[in-house]
């Protein structure tokens, strides 16, 4: 006799509706609460299994979790707007009514979590907009000054427009997007800068855990700072130790602390690089090199997440 058939033939134990409410209300999240409800129903023999299918956008659903046995008769209970709870086995009418009474609490918790998620997205967008405004002002001003001094101002103005487009792309980027190809981002950053009076060598390959648009912006600023500090040679490399990843930009410029050094002036570009790196779980570190020049490192500690 299977677990499902045994469930169908033996009398079900009396079940406390308060227990379902307490399990759902005490959980840290709606998913954790529904997991607790499903596990409780399976443990007490009221069901063979349970599944929660949550909304996934575009009128589709995804399986958030499954507990117990997935075989047997299936009863779908809509939890609008929180998706559908699927009961595996033969739930009694009383049990269905008990779960139905959870709807107000389910709706409340779903809306609460959606509002929290929305608020977090808005906060990130506001921060991104602040970065955007400062970064546009910084890069456009630098590009316009270059255009005024250039023998081909039209080409310089075209590059300025392309820089603004790249900034817009970085602002809109999703934090959960695909990782960046280091080699591609170095090439794109150099293309943004135009003619660079330095020898740039990139030995770093593979991916780095930043969105491409964000890594391109940070690299562009670090390369520009190295050139402004009088570097003749710039080397981009990568380091890894356990879950700690670092992208390194070494230069042989005048270094940190000198009157025309890497870290002098308003440091707007460095401040923005730090904010962008922080937004995507990283940090920007600057160190003087023993042989002269500056080492800039974008560090991501995977264990911290």
Same domain, 160 and 76: no
Same domain, 130 and 256: yes
Same domain, 122 and 218: yes
Q: How many domains does the chain have?
A: 2
- 68-90 in b/e form (b: 16+ CB < 10 A) is bbeebeeeeeebeebbebbbbbb
In a domain, 107, yes or no: no
CA angle centred on 201, ends 195 and 205, rounded to 5°: 120
Q: What are phi and psi of 137, to 5 degrees?
A: -60, -45
Same domain, 119 and 92: no
pLDDT score recorded for residue 8: 41
Window from 61-65, 156-160, 260-264 with minimum mean pLDDT: 260-264
d(CA 54, CA 110) in angstroms, rounded, equals 10
Yes or no: say if 269 and 225 are a contact pair by the CB < 8 Å rule. Answer: yes
Give 56 or 268, the one with higher predicted confidence.
56
Same domain, 126 and 229: yes
Give the helix/strand (H/E) hosting 132.
helix 103-149
Give 168 or 218, the one with higher predicted confidence.
218
Share above pLDDT 90 across residues of the chain, in percent, rounded to a whole number: 27
pLDDT above 60: residue 7? no
Average pLDDT over residues 8-33: 70
Same domain, 146 and 185: yes
Same domain, 220 and 146: yes
Same domain, 273 and 190: yes
Give 230 or 7, the one with higher predicted confidence.
230
pLDDT above 90: residue 237? yes
Residue range(s) defining the domain that contains residue 59: 3-101
Instruction: Tell me which of 101, 131, 152 is where a domain ends.
Output: 101
């Amino acid at each position: 006799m299977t677990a499902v058939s045994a469930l169908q033939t033996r009398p079900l134990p009396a079940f406390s509706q308060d227990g379902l409410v307490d399990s759902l209300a005490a959980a840290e999240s709606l998913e954790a609460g529904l997991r607790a409800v499903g596990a409780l129903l399976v443990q007490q023999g009221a069901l063979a299994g349970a599944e929660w299918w949550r909304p996934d956008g575009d009128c589709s659903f995804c399986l958030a979790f499954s507990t117990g046995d997935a075989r047997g008769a299936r009863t779908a209970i809509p939890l609008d707007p929180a998706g559908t709870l699927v009961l595996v086995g033969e739930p009694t009418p009383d049990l269905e009514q008990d779960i139905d009474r959870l709807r107000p609490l389910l709706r409340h918790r779903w809306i609460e979590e959606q509002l929290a998620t929305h608020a977090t997205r808005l906060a990130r967008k506001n921060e991104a907009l602040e970065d955007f405004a400062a970064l546009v002002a910084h890069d456009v001003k630098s590009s316009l000054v270059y255009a005024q001094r250039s023998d081909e101002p039209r080409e310089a103005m075209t590059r300025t427009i392309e820089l603004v487009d790249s900034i817009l792309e970085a602002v809109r980027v999703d934090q959960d997007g695909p990782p960046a190809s280091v080699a591609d981002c170095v090439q794109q950053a150099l293309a943004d800068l135009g003619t660079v009076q330095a020898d740039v060598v990139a030995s770093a390959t593979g991916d780095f855990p930043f969105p491409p648009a964000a890594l391109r912006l940070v690299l562009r600023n670090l390369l520009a700072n190295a050139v402004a500090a009088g570097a003749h040679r710039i080397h981009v490399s990568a380091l890894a130790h356990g879950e700690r990843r670092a992208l390194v930009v070494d230069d042989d410029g005048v270094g940190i602390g000198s009157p025309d050094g890497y870290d002098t002036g308003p440091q707007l570009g460095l401040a923005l690089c730090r904010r962008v790196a922080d937004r995507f779980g990283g940090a920007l570190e600057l160190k003087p090199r023993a042989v002269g020049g500056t080492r800039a490192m974008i560090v991501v500690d995977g264990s911290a997440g």
